[in-house]
C-alpha cells in the first residue's frame, strides 16, 4: 500500500469518526457550547436512525465476515463442478447454493458473470443472482429478528423469492438459452481477493482485510437508506407516499420504487422495512424486501457493465412484473399476527 493511499485511508477514517462523534454527542457537547437548540423533529430523526442502525449493526458485520470466508475459500470452479447438467435439477441446486452464499446484490454480479464464463447456463446464473442476496442464513436471521411481531412477513419474503427465482429462471431459459448475454472484452467491476495475493500474508489477514472492505462498502449504503427511512417517518406522514400505503396495489408499487432508490444491503434492509410496517400493507413490505436485493439503483449500473443491455432491460422488466404480481397475491395469505 503506497503512502498516499495510506494517508487517504487515515483521512477517511478520521472524518468518519468525527462525523460519528458529532452525530452521537453533538447535541450534548457541541450544540450547548454554541447555544444551538436542536429542533424536536431532528431529534426524532436521530432516535429513529439509532434504532435502525443499532439493530442492524450485528447482521451487517456477520454478513461481511461470512461473505469474506465464501469469497476466499470457495472458488467458482467448485460451484461449477457441483452443478447438474439437467437444467431443471440445476435450478434446485442453485437455490440450495444461494442458501449458503451470503453476498450482497452487487457482489454476486461478478461471481455470476464468472460462472457463466465457465459454462454455467444463463438461467442458473439468474437463480443465484436473485436468490443469493435474500435466501442466505444471515438475511433470514436479520429478517426474522426485525419482524418478530409478524413472522409471516419473514417467511413470505423467502417464499416469494424462491417462486420469483424459479419463474424468472424459466422465462430467461426460454429467451436466452442460446444467446450470448455477457459483454465481451470487459473486466469485472469487482473481483475476489486472492488468498495468496501477497505470499507473506496469512489467510486470516486476507479475511480481515476483505471483511473491512465489505463492511464499509455495504455500510455506507445502509446508512443512507436508514437516514432516508428516518426522515420519511417524520416528514412524509401526510404525503402521497404514506397515503399510498393504505392500498395494496399502490403501496406495493411505491415500496418497490423505494427499494430501488434506497439501494440497501439485504443483510439489514429488513430493519428499514420494519420502520414502514405501520404505514404499508404486509404485501407491500414483502415487495420491498424481495425487489430491493434483486434490483436497485447501484447494482443496475454494475449489471450494465457486465451484461448486454438487451438482457439487463428484459431482466429488469421481467423481475419487476413477477415480483409485483407475486407480492400483491401474497396479500391473500398474509395477516399480521
At residue 185 the predicted structure's pLDDT band, cuts being 50, 70 and 90, is very low
pTM: 0.70
> Can you give the length of the chain in residues?
337
Residue 59, pLDDT > 80, answer no
Largest distance between two CA atoms of the chain: 71
Secondary structure (DSSP) of 187-200: --SS----TTSSTT
At residue 74 the predicted structure's pLDDT band, cuts being 50, 70 and 90, is low
- Ranked by mean pLDDT, the top range of 85-89, 242-246, 323-327 is 323-327
Burial of 226 (0-12, 13-18, 19+ CB in 10 A): buried
pLDDT in tens, 132-174: 889 988 888 889 998 988 899 999 999 999 999 999 999 999 9
Question: Rounded CA gap, 258 and 253, in Å?
Answer: 9
Q: What pLDDT, on a 0 to 100 scale, did the predictor assign at position 32?
A: 60
Question: Rounded CA gap, 99 and 91, in Å?
Answer: 13
pLDDT in tens, 277-313: 888 889 999 999 999 999 987 778 778 877 888 999 9
Residue 145 in grid coordinates: 429478528
pLDDT in tens, 93-130: 889 888 877 776 666 777 777 777 777 889 998 998 99
In the chain, what percentage of residues exceed pLDDT 90?
20
Runs of H (alpha helix) within the chain: 3-25, 31-33, 40-73, 76-82, 87-99, 105-117, 122-135, 137-146, 151-176, 203-235, 240-244, 248-262, 269-274, 282-294, 297-306, 309-330
Amino acid at each position: 500500500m503506497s503512502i498516499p493511499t495510506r494517508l487517504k485511508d487515515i483521512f477517511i477514517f478520521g472524518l468518519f469518526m468525527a462525523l460519528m462523534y458529532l452525530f452521537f454527542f453533538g447535541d450534548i457537547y457541541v450544540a450547548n457550547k454554541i447555544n444551538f437548540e436542536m429542533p424536536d423533529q431532528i431529534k426524532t430523526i436521530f432516535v429513529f436512525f439509532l434504532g435502525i442502525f443499532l439493530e442492524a449493526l450485528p447482521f451487517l458485520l456477520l454478513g461481511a465476515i461470512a461473505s469474506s470466508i465464501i469469497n476466499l475459500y470457495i472458488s467458482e470452479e467448485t460451484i461449477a463442478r457441483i452443478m447438474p447438467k439437467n437444467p431443471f435439477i440445476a435450478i434446485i441446486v442453485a437455490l440450495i447454493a444461494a442458501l449458503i452464499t451470503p453476498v450482497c446484490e452487487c457482489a454476486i454480479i461478478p461471481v455470476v458473470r464468472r460462472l457463466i464464463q465457465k459454462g454455467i447456463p444463463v438461467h442458473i446464473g439468474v437463480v443465484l443472482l436473485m436468490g443469493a442476496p435474500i435466501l442466505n442464513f444471515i438475511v433470514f436471521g436479520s429478517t426474522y429478528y426485525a419482524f418478530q411481531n409478524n413472522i409471516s412477513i419473514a417467511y413470505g419474503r423467502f417464499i416469494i423469492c424462491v417462486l420469483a427465482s424459479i419463474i424468472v429462471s424459466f422465462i430467461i431459459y426460454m429467451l436466452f438459452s442460446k444467446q450470448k448475454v455477457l459483454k465481451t472484452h470487459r473486466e469485472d467491476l469487482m473481483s475476489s481477493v486472492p488468498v495468496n495475493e501477497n505470499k507473506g500474508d496469512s489467510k486470516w489477514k486476507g479475511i480481515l482485510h476483505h471483511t473491512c472492505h465489505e463492511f464499509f462498502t455495504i455500510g455506507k449504503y445502509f446508512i443512507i437508506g436508514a437516514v432516508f427511512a428516518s426522515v420519511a417517518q417524520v416528514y412524509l406522514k401526510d404525503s402521497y407516499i404514506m397515503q399510498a400505503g393504505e392500498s395494496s396495489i399502490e403501496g406495493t408499487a411505491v415500496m418497490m420504487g423505494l427499494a430501488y432508490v434506497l439501494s440497501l444491503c439485504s443483510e439489514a434492509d429488513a430493519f428499514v422495512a420494519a420502520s414502514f410496517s405501520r404505514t404499508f400493507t404486509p404485501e407491500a413490505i414483502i415487495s420491498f424486501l424481495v425487489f430491493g436485493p434483486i434490483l436497485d439503483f447501484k447494482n443496475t449500473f454494475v449489471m450494465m457493465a457486465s451484461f448486454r443491455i438487451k438482457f439487463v432491460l428484459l431482466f429488469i422488466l421481467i423481475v419487476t412484473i413477477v415480483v409485483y404480481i407475486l407480492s400483491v397475491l401474497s396479500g391473500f395469505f398474509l395477516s399480521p399476527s
